Amino acid sequence: MTYENIRLVREGAVTTLFIDRNPKTLNALDNQTLLDIEAGVKSLDEQTRVLIVASANEKAFVAGADIKQMAGLNESQAKEFAALGHRVFALLESLSIPTIAAVNGFALGGGCELALACDFIYASEKAQLGLPEVSLGVIPGFGGTQRLTRLVGRARAKELIFTGARIDAAKAKEIGLVLEVLPAEGLLAHCNAIAEKILKNSPLAIGKAKRVIDQGADKDLTEANTLERQGFAELFGSFDQTEGMKAFIEKRPASFIGK
């Protein structure tokens, strides 16, 4: 399948979704780009076990929702645009496989929110992140107010959102928004190396861990631990659990199948 504004590259079990709009737009998210991301994510089959979301633009990951397109929307078109964005971000977040954002340059507004919809973020030394929506008279609308707050805490999220400030990768790491900062030329290699480590483990257990972490995050500890207990028990009797434990006892590497 071909897309206008993204490129999907699969190598083994790792697929990289490159946002690849006309470089002059700094990958701003217009309708077409959101539709392409949606179609690209939906096209992933079970051969993909880790998804990396990256950019083909050397200056920007994504510079935000497309302000030029948004500026001309009437109310019902704005509703449609918002609904499309929510659908795409929810789809990305609902994937049972790990998703890694590789932020190489500007990740502002909807771009920062796109990265936040992934499981974790690595950034290049050139990255600049922020949620500048209030400078445009709006607020983050693709989950930024909620996901950033859950990740870095209320006060940091408010500081970033109220000031609309852009922070560099080092500051983003300091506040826990990104996990590591890499030289630009090593960013994708790092993401792939982490993906390779993930691939050694049971896809079934990883999917379950992801679900329990995400669903448990908004629950109290007792309820969240109940989810964990259920998730743990559900894995017993699976091929991967039997194989993983057998391989340990037999002192050999496990061979997982995700079932």
The β-bridge relationship of strands 120-124 and 180-182 is: parallel
Q: Of 25, 48, 55, 57, which one interacts with ligand DAK (CB under 6 A)?
A: 25
Using CB under 6 A, which of the segments 139-147, 190-198, 204-212, 243-251 binds ligand DAK?
139-147
Is residue 107 part of the contact set for ligand DAK (CB under 6 A)? no
Among 15, 36, 85, 244, contact with ligand DAK (rule: CB under 6 A): 85
Among 40, 98, 109, 203, binds ligand DAK (CB under 6 A): 109
Q: Kindly determine how many residues on this chain lie close enough to bind ligand DAK according to the rule CB under 6 A.
A: 23
Q: Which of 107, 114, 129, 132 binds ligand DAK (CB under 6 A)?
A: 132
Catalytic residue among 125, 133, 234, 250: 133
> 71 to each of 29, 74, 83, 84, 202, how far by Cα in Å?
13, 9, 17, 17, 46
91 binds ligand DAK (CB under 6 A): no
In the complex with ligand DAK, the residue whose CB is nearer, 26 or 187, is: 26
Please, which residue, 13 or 73, has the CB nearer to ligand DAK?
73
Does the annotation count 133 as an active-site position?
yes
Q: Which range binds ligand DAK by CB under 6 A, 7-15, 25-33, 147-155, 247-255?
A: 25-33
Nearer to ligand DAK, 44 or 78 (CB): 78
Name the segment binding ligand DAK (CB under 6 A); options: 31-39, 63-71, 177-185, 198-206: 63-71
Q: Does 63 bind ligand DAK (CB under 6 A)?
A: yes
Q: Is residue 133 involved in binding ligand DAK (CB under 6 A)?
A: yes
Alpha-carbon distances of 233 from 93, 103, 216, 226, 238, rounded to whole Å: 24, 36, 16, 11, 10
Query: What positions carry a catalytic annotation?
Result: 113, 133
Binding site residues, ligand DAK, CB under 6 A = 24-26, 28, 63-68, 82, 85, 106, 108-110, 132-133, 136, 138, 140-142
